[in-house]
Structure 1
Amino acid sequence: MRDLGSVQPYEAKEKVQAEVSKFLLAKKQAAQGSTLPLQQPLADAQSEGLLATGKAAAEQAAGQQELAQLKAEVAARKAEALAAATHQAIPAARQEQSAEVRKLKEELRAEAMQTAIRQAQEQELQQLKAELAARQAHSKTEQEAQAKQTDRHSAAEAQQVAELKAELAAQEAEAAQAHQAEQLAEAKQLAAEEATRQKQELAQLTAELAAQQEQQQLTEAEQAAAAHANFALQKAELQSQLAAQLAQAKQLAA
């Protein structure tokens, strides 16, 4: 016998009816003249078993059909619930996306402002560096010019010293040859007065420079003044030497 539980409900019902019809036909034929009267109880039992089996198969098929319907209803309700949830979630998702877009726009705006600020600061820094470089170049040029001027003053002062030495040498020679006491005395007096005056000026200038050094460092102009003072001191020393030599020449002439 075939398994009736694996077929659809309408197929199981038809097969049960066909089996029942076959059994009833066989039973009728056996009642009319069958040569096997002893098999009648067994046939009845088989017929009852077939009826019970068919009924059970029909009930099982009906239960399966009802279960399928229930599953379909559950799936439909789930689909409806999912559609409703999706419909409700769309505005919330859009709102969340809008908030995220606004946040991204604000971040981009803030980043753009920071970039602009950094660029402005960098530009200002470059401008300050350029101004500093220009000032340094100008200061270097001025220092070089002052150094050249100081060198020219030093050269001129050295030339004056050389000329003064030559003049003193000539005066010494003239004094030695002339043997004139008055000229020697006058020259000595003049040299002494000039030396005294220059020493006084040098002392005053030295005091002023010392006072200025206590307040600030010497500038290029002050250094030039100090060089001039040194030149004056050298000049005074040379004149003193000249006076001494003149005095010695006077003594020799006497």
Structure 2
Amino acid sequence: MANLSSIEKRKLERLLGMSSGYVLNFSDRTFSMFFEEHVGLDIDSARYRVNLSSGSKANRMRGFWTIEPDHIVAKTLLAMIEHANEYQCFPPEVDATLLADVQQIIGRLHQNSSSPVPEVDAFTASVNDLDFEAAAKHIRTAIDQNEPATALDRLHVFTIKFLRTHCEHRGIEVNRDKPLHSLMGEYVKAVRTAGLLESEMTDRILRSSILEAFNDVRNNKSLAHDNPILNHGEALLIFSHVGASIRFIRALEGRAVVRTR
């Protein structure tokens, strides 16, 4: 059962437009497909309809919150925000304040997560791309099995695809020869120019030379080649750091979408 207060549930319902029985712009079919893809669960199961008057999408969502643990609910909410950003289907009442409140709720749910990498839910494909989705699935499986070192090469692929997607959205030239740290540097410059970053410290954290060193880890400490893989502790640290940056960028872009409406 997710640890959500009544106030938090009301905020989530406002974000997802659940007052009319719907959830965002989902049909019954796409609602089912969404849960199968992102958390591998059957949202049509009778278990999510217990003590509820109807099987509407909103009521199944409420049943889902009642039954599933914090980290699964957090993962679902993050993916729904990504969906709403992509299809621009947030309800009209959603503003930057509500979105920030929901991000705090998700962050708290993550703190209660039993996953070895608290940022596991950041690793969902931003666009409908088979390679992107495959890398994301591989990463989540490795984390769930507490074997992050086996997916370091997929993490590299995922991060490049993630940054290329957002760089293109910001009008930044993208090509196969541009390394990971250069993509991040140009992206940070663009969002700073757009007034989306407030502090020099955030700028420096995102631009850090860590991503420049990622190529060495990918080439010499992962399963991309015939090498001994990185030790478990350092692999966890890399996943957590990269995941935190990805989650921050997702939230930043979500706020940017709301601001322009």
TM-score with structure 2 length normalisation?
0.22
If each structure's helix is expressed as a fraction of its own residues, which one has the higher value?
1
- TM-score of the superposed pair, with normalisation by structure 1: 0.22
Mark the structure with the bigger radius of gyration: 1
